[in-house]
Amino acid sequence: MPQIAWDIAQIVLGLAMLYFGAEWLIAGAAGLARSFGIKPLIIGLTVVAYGTSAPELVVGISAGIRGQGAIALGNVIGSNIANLGLILAMAALIRTTQVDRQIVVRELPVLLATTALVPLSLLDGQVSMFEAGGLLGLAVAYTGWMLVTSKRDSTEALKHVAEDAAAAAVMSPQRKRSVLGALVFAGLIFLVAGGHFLVTGAVGVARIAGMSERIIGLTIVAVGTSIPELATSLVAAVRGHGDIAIGNVVGSNIFNVLLVLAAAGLAGEIHANLGDVALDVFALGAMTLFAAVVMATRRRITRIEGTILLLGYIAFLSALSLQ
């Protein structure tokens, strides 16, 4: 088999394993938490929030360990851009979505602040171990703050991510937990293996095609690791739960910076000249600011705003192709 074919096969296999791994991890963990009597709110703020960012986290750590910081950084920035310009845009195109006041008051300021941390972290040309540790500390603090301050029941948010665990409801508690535990374990195995295959295949394609690791990270890897967010948000939008789609995108973008970038930086220092990633940072900042202003002032995202976000994403990809 030609090397390029094997690399592409690894990318496809990695994407599939990341998708199923994230689905199994979230469904199993949510089911386990419920079986132990943990409140749906706590599950929603932890399992769902962290679970949908699991592919980005695994890929970021894998790339960091290999010293492929460009892929790790591109994965974070590219995933956040895709979350806004592709996932949020498509959710809005499906149905005009009302924005919950909690998102405007609590999450949007955090989203803007964490987005600003990306260029600030690169001012010295790298995401050092110290900076990565600081981001990780902020991730822990933000999670704790969410758990303390949130008053919104997230039962609806869990319905579509825990359906796979529903079949175990007729089992005895002990057997049910065993099945759900196996689901979590299988999900973790698939995530780790999928991350390995995706990064290995992406690097191989980049080298053969003469593409930079940065471009691969911003496109193939970024979109691939955003599949859980895409599936979750589109299903939510179709079912009329647009607020879940918005919350999923906003929460994922926050965790991608605070947790994924931190983990990648701790696994191996990320070196990047801010000037070299100026287009990426500008696109991320512009799309984040546009979405935030629309949500804060209009309290809804219509098909028009969704179209603008989608066109912005297409323009970003077009600009990348010219580099």
Q: Quick: pLDDT tens for 230-257.
A: 877 777 777 777 777 788 788 889 999 9
Q: Is the whole-model pTM more than 0.85?
A: no
**How far from 220 is each of 77, 153, 286, CA to CA, in Å?**
12, 35, 21
DSSP 233-299: HHHHHHTT-HHHHHHHHHHHHHHIIIIIIHHHHHHS-EE--TTTTHHHHHHHHHHHHHHHHHHHHHS
* Mean pLDDT along residues 99-126: 90
Burial 134-143 (b: 16+ CB within 10 A, else e): bbbebbeebb
Tell me whether residue 170 is exposed, middle or buried, using C-beta atoms within 10 angstroms of its C-beta: 0 to 12, 13 to 18, 19 or more. exposed
CA pair distance 171, 183, nearest whole angstrom? 15
**Tens-digit pLDDT profile for residues 90-99:** 989 998 888 8
CATH number of 3-321: 1.20.1420.30
Residue with tokens 């955090």, as numbered in its chain: 110
Most confidently modeled range among 71-80, 149-158, 168-177? 71-80
In the chain, where are the structural domains located?
Answer: 3-321
**Tens-digit pLDDT profile for residues 59-78:** 899 888 988 888 899 999 99
**Tens-digit pLDDT profile for residues 13-49:** 988 888 888 788 778 877 877 787 766 556 655 666 6
* Mean pLDDT along residues 286-293: 96
